[in-house]
Amino acid sequence: MQLDLLVRKGKYENGFMHCPVQEGQWLPAKINFTSLAKPDQVGSGATGINTLFHGGGHAAHFANIRQNAPCFSQEFPPTSMAYAETQSMFCDSLLHDADWLKRYAKNRQGEVLSDALIKADIAVRQPMRAFNERHILLVPYFEWQLYSMDEDARTPAAITQLARDIEQRILGIGGSPRPTIAIPHLLSMESACSYQGYLLALMAVEQTRHFFLKRYGYLTDNPAIGPDLALHYWRPGNSVSHDDTLRSLTGEGFNPAYLAEAC
Ligand SMILES: [Zn+2]
């Protein structure tokens, strides 16, 4: 596994994880993933560690798909974005957990983060939680309407108005902090019509977290979690559906109630 963490000339400016494969013969996976900051760097390190955990989740997933052909272990359909992002977002969800912060968030003197700061972090983020998750819906609702429009009606003015209407309807405010049409997923063939996968993944992450918390009482550094994920979520790759993996681990089909509760 090769980690490429720092900004350098010519480097693609977005974290990603990629597993090259060679056709015709079995080779052990060679995994590369990137981020744009050192996790212990003051300031941008916060984004860096999030990308590191996110990419690490994808890497753990793709390194543990154990099937007899590479087609079960690649990012394109039938692999769903929601299934892949569940693995990465489960890992990066740990970073805001108070017990994780107590163990790892230390200053240069080795002092742990105070309870007051952890509480302040929660107080700042929690009120926006539902708004942020709803924000994801702008893209799929916009795409749904856009691709349903008559060709003649699809003018620049009508498309801009459609984006404004959907922002108003979903967020309840005129204009989004991140304008819908500025979201790059809309324009790229690989990522178009898949943005809902992030929200589905967040739902599955909360369902998974709830299951582990109920079973074990804690997540941080819990050695039982990796083998559970490997067996139920990772090993089958795309040979089963996302819903099947959730049923296999949690005993329950896809359930959005846990994300609603977290919000
Ligand atoms: Zn991802």
Residue 19 has pLDDT above 80, yes or no: no
**Which strands make up the sheet holding 32-34, listed edge to edge?**
2-4, 32-34, 17-18
The region of weakest confidence among 22-31, 93-102, 140-149, 186-195 is 22-31
Residues near ligand 1 ion, CB 5 Å cutoff: 88
Which pLDDT band, with edges at 50, 70 and 90, does 29 fall under?
low
Ligand 1 centroid to residue 84 C-alpha, Å: 7
Cα of 156 from ligand 1 centre, angstroms = 31
What's the chain's average pLDDT? 91
Q: What percent of the chain has pLDDT over 90?
A: 66
Distance 87 CA to ligand 1 centre (A): 8
The answer to whether residues 188 and 178 touch, using CB atoms and an 8 Å cutoff, is: no
Ligand 1 centroid–CA 111 distance in Å is: 32
Which pLDDT score is estimated for 247?
98
- Amino acid 149: pLDDT: 96
Q: What is the mean pLDDT of residues 101-108?
A: 90
Give me ligand 1 centre to Cα 211, in Å.
22
Query: What one-letter code names the amino acid at 132?
Result: N
pTM assigned to the model: 0.87
Over range 128-155, report the average pLDDT.
Answer: 96
Q: What is the CA radius of gyration of the chain?
A: 20
- Centroid of ligand 1 to alpha carbon of 233 (angstroms): 16
pLDDT at 25 over 80: no
4 alpha carbon, distance to own chain's centre: 20
What's the CA-to-centroid distance between 150 and ligand 1, angstroms?
Answer: 34
Nearest CA-CA partner of 52 in 34, 31, 40: 34
- pLDDT at residue number 9: 87
Residue 22 confidence (pLDDT) above 90: no
CA of 59 to the centre of ligand 1 (A): 10
Cα of first residue to Cα of last residue in the chain, in angstroms, is 35
pLDDT digits 0-9 by tens, 65-78: 988 887 888 888 89
211 or 12: whose pLDDT is higher? 211
Overall average pLDDT of the 94-120 stretch:
93
Residues 110-121: tens digit of each pLDDT: 999 999 999 999
Residues of the chain above pLDDT 70, percent? 94
> Could you tell me if 145 and 162 are in contact, meaning their C-beta atoms sit under 8 angstroms apart?
yes
> Is the pLDDT reported for residue 41 higher than 90?
no
Please give the distance, rounded to the nearest whole angstrom, from the Cα atom of residue 65 to the centre of ligand 1: 17
Residue 230: CB atoms within 10 Å: 16
Q: How many CB atoms lie within 10 A of CB 182?
A: 9
Query: How confident is the model at residue 35, as a pLDDT?
Result: 78
Ligand 1: centre distance to CA 56 (Å): 10
Whether the pLDDT of residue 20 is over 80: the answer is no
Least confident among 48-57, 217-226, 253-262: 48-57
Distance 201 CA to ligand 1 centre (A): 10
Residue 87, pLDDT score: 97
29 or 161, higher pLDDT? 161
pLDDT in tens, 209-235: 999 999 999 999 999 999 999 999 999
* CA of 155 relative to ligand 1 center, distance in Å: 33
